[in-house]
Amino acid sequence: MNVDETLSAPLADLSPTTVVPPPWLKMLIQIARNCLVVTVILALLALVFGSILRPALEAVNVNEELTALLSWLLIAAIPPALYLTVGFTARTLRNAHPARALVVALLAATLVYGATLLWNAAFPAAQAAQGQPSLEMTFAQADSGVVIESIVAGSAAEQAGLRVGDVITAIRRESIDLAALQSRIEEEPLGTPFRLRVQRDGEEFQVTVNSIASATGAGNAALSRAAAGRAVALVVTAVGLLVPFNWLPYLLLGVTLLPLLLGYTWLIVATFSQETHGLLPVDSTGSLGGLTLSNWDFLTEVSRRGSVWTYTLNSFAIAVIMTAALLVLCSMAAYALSRMEFRGRRLFLSFTLILHGFPAVTLLIPIYLVLLNLGALPIIGEYIGFNTLGGIALVEIAFGMPFGVWLMKGFFDNISWDMERSALIDGANRWRTFWEIILPQIRPGLFALGIFSFVGGWNTYLIPATFSTGTRIANLPVYIQQLLGETNPINWNEIAAIGLFQMIPILILFVFAQEYLLNIYSGGSKGSS
């Protein structure tokens, strides 16, 4: 039903000749129609992916991952889409007619089932690829160890020299029985090398065999996956129908946010643990526990790379210089562009707009040359050249400027002309008007740009990493990356702590200025309309 129909509905009621269908019939028709549409779309999609896109992609030999990714997209998108379509129409039924709602739920489930079948038809290969890992051998338990019963001809195991009747006693030095071997094979990811200790005729030697996806196991796995998928879809449908509708958006939002929530949770947990397995803090033996504050020792310690406070200071300096300069620079330029008449105004404006989409980050090579030349200037060169804080800040300021100018221009555009005229008549010149009358009006804009610049300057990695060498002027993000790139074992937990430490000012800003951050993109837009 579309809006037009809705609009004309009352008129239809008045006209005596129209037969008004009973509401439940209307509803059913609606549901049926929606279901039909969804099914058709699904079938078409399956067709497109299965018989056109996939071969086409294989032919041009792109990433197989495109297909894999699209598959995942479909898998992830179809159940919610289905639920949405069916659930939305069924929702109105739920309160008044629970029985009908149940019918709709069953209908939805059937549809999901049908979708999965279509899916299987479309992506047989995609599932085979996800088969169980195997060593392409079959085993039997014997007293001395695990006996190889058969080997797939031409397999890696055969090529490695294994034969039927060999006895596997251990993986590396761990002795092993049949159950343990099989569970190890299944648990390790595909491609894991197994170094098997093998006995043959009383001789002992080692063979390394990589696990690969087995063709036989794949079928079962695919089936169980399909079943799991259907179960999930059913549960989703049922939950969607039974849980009050208002919860659905929260549920969807929560689910999509999950990766982020997990990531940030890890960051926090990790900083207070010796090690982490997933999200769980563990101690050095791998059992639960091991909470510690030692990761934060970096605050007081001076490591081989120097104290963290040096880097913090550098971060701070870059951010503050950048913020201050951008505020002054952008508001001045934006004021002129927004409110002054001069030759070349249009040119400047279009130039700013082009800069706005300019791929400046790809110009790091010539900018390096510019910095080298700036560094060669007498007196000031020492502060703004390559490998100086000033130089880094300058590049940052330049990169941040097009955005800042447009943002501020939007704010300036909004200010009443009468107020500025009034100031001029009262006796001010443009310069004073700008500082005394106009700037105080755009405090929200200054605040927004300030926060944004500070966050940008505080977080910047690419420019300091490119235009500085060594540790003298490295900032926190560069420092963190240096730690992550170390060759000796990475102490993830300490780095996590430094990462969290780096985030603290941002989080504080975030709590207090969330609204400004959220409105930053739209703030500048108000003026121009």
Partner 1 sequence: MKVDIEQLNKSFGTVVAVHDLNLDIRAGEFVAFLGPSGCGKTTTLLMIAGIYKPTGGVIRFGERVVNTVQPRDRNIGMVFQSYALYPHMSVFENIAYPLKLKGVSKDEQRVRVQRSADVMGIGDLLHRRPGQLSGGQQQRVALGRALVKEPDVLLFDEPLSNLDARLRLTMRGEIKALQKRLGITSIYVTHDQVEALTMADRIAVMNEGLLEAYDTPDDLYDHPKTLFIASFVGNPPMNILPIQAALEGDAVILQNDALRLPVRSERALKAAQQHGDLLMGVRPEDVTLSADGALCGEVFVVEPLGREDMIDVRIGQHRLAALVTTEKRIRAGNRVRLDINADKLQFFDPASKRSILWT
Partner 2 sequence: MHCAPTATGTFLGMGMAAVTTTQSKRTSSGRPNLTAYLFLMPAVVLVVLFFLIPTILVLYISMTNLTSANFTADIAQMEFIGFANFTTLFNDQFAQKILFNTLFYVLVTMAIFNVGASLFVSLLTTHINRRASFVFRALWLLPRITAGTVYIMMWRRMIADPPFGILNQALGAVGGTPITGSEYVWTFVVIVNGMIGMSFGMVIFTAAIESISKDIMNAALVDGSTMLQRIRYIILPLLRWPLLFVISYQTLSLLTSYEQILLLTNGGPGLYQTEVWALTAYHRALSNYFGNAQWGYGSAFAVVLVVIGVLLAALYMRVFRFRDLVAEPKIETL
- Binding positions for partner 1, rule: CB under 8 A: 416, 418-419, 421-429, 432, 437, 440-441
Minimum distance of partner 1 from residue 326's CB (angstroms): 22
184 or 430, CB closer to partner 1?
Answer: 430
Q: Which does 348 bind (CB under 5 to 8 A by kind): partner 2, partner 1, none?
A: partner 2
Measure the CA–CA gap between 75 and 119, rounded to whole angstroms. Answer: 9
Minimum distance of partner 2 from residue 167's CB (angstroms): 27
129 or 142, CB closer to partner 2?
Answer: 129
Q: Which does 422 bind (CB under 5 to 8 A by kind): partner 2, partner 1, none?
A: partner 1
- Bridge partners (DSSP) of residue 150 are 138
Does residue 14 contact residue 88 with C-beta atoms inside 8 Å?
no
Q: Which does 151 bind (CB under 5 to 8 A by kind): partner 1, partner 2, none?
A: none
| Site for partner 2 contains 162 (CB under 8 A) | no
Q: Which does 529 bind (CB under 5 to 8 A by kind): partner 2, partner 1, none?
A: partner 2
Measure the CA–CA gap between 478 and 306, rounded to whole angstroms. Answer: 13
* Element (DSSP H or E) covering residue 411: helix 389-413
Measure the CA–CA gap between 70 and 49, rounded to whole angstroms. Answer: 9
265 or 422, CB closer to partner 1?
Answer: 422
SS3 letters for 285-337?
CCCECCECCHHHHHHCCEECCEEHHHHHHHHHHHHHHHHHHHHHHHHHHHHHH
Minimum distance of partner 2 from residue 109's CB (angstroms): 21
Minimum distance of partner 1 from residue 517's CB (angstroms): 24
87 or 145, CB closer to partner 2?
Answer: 87
Q: Which does 305 bind (CB under 5 to 8 A by kind): partner 2, partner 1, none?
A: none
Minimum distance of partner 1 from residue 421's CB (angstroms): 5
- Bridge partners (DSSP) of residue 294 are none
| Site for partner 2 contains 22 (CB under 8 A) | no
Site for partner 2 in 53-72 (CB under 8 A): 62-63, 65-66, 68-69, 72
Measure the CA–CA gap between 225 and 234, rounded to whole angstroms. Answer: 14
Number of chain residues interacting with partner 2 (CB under 8 A):
150
Provide the 8-state DSSP code for 295: G
| Site for partner 2 contains 447 (CB under 8 A) | no
263 or 306, CB closer to partner 2?
Answer: 263
Tell me the H-state helices in 15-139: 23-47, 54-60, 64-96, 98-122, 124-128
342 or 440, CB closer to partner 2?
Answer: 342
107 or 428, CB closer to partner 2?
Answer: 428
Going by C-alpha positions, the residue among 438, 445, 443, 447 that lies closest to residue 406 is 445
Going by C-alpha positions, the residue among 391, 83, 95 that lies closest to residue 252 is 83
- Bridge partners (DSSP) of residue 277 are 280
Minimum distance of partner 2 from residue 99's CB (angstroms): 22
Site for partner 2 in 489-508 (CB under 8 A): 492, 495-496, 499-500, 502-503, 506
Place of tokens 């502060």: 383
Which of 103, 160, 424, 428 is close enough to bind partner 2 by CB under 8 A?
Answer: 424
Which of 16, 202, 244, 366 is close enough to bind partner 2 by CB under 8 A?
Answer: 366
Q: Which does 425 bind (CB under 5 to 8 A by kind): partner 2, partner 1, none?
A: partner 1
Q: Is 385 helix (H, G, I), strand (E, B) or coil?
A: coil
Amino acid at 124: P
| Site for partner 2 contains 189 (CB under 8 A) | yes
Which of 27, 270, 322, 393 is close enough to bind partner 2 by CB under 8 A?
Answer: 270
| Site for partner 2 contains 372 (CB under 8 A) | yes
Site for partner 2 in 315-334 (CB under 8 A): 328-330, 332-333
Minimum distance of partner 2 from residue 220's CB (angstroms): 13
Q: Which does 81 bind (CB under 5 to 8 A by kind): partner 1, partner 2, none?
A: none
429 or 529, CB closer to partner 1?
Answer: 429
Measure the CA–CA gap between 403 and 307, rounded to whole angstroms. Answer: 34
| DSSP state string for 473-529 | S--HHHHHHHHHT-SSPP-HHHHHHHHHHHHHHHHHHHHHHHHHHHHHHHHTTTTT-
Q: Which does 110 bind (CB under 5 to 8 A by kind): partner 2, partner 1, none?
A: none
Q: Is 170 helix (H, G, I), strand (E, B) or coil?
A: strand
Which of 9, 12, 117, 255 is close enough to bind partner 2 by CB under 8 A?
Answer: 9
Which of 121, 361, 377, 380 is close enough to bind partner 2 by CB under 8 A?
Answer: 361
| Site for partner 2 contains 296 (CB under 8 A) | no
Minimum distance of partner 1 from residue 339's CB (angstroms): 12
Give the end-to-end CA distance of the chain in Å, rounded to a whole number: 35
Structure tokens at 131: 């088969």
Q: Is 167 helix (H, G, I), strand (E, B) or coil?
A: strand
Amino acid at 477: P
Going by C-alpha positions, the residue among 314, 311, 309, 310 that lies closest to residue 299 is 309
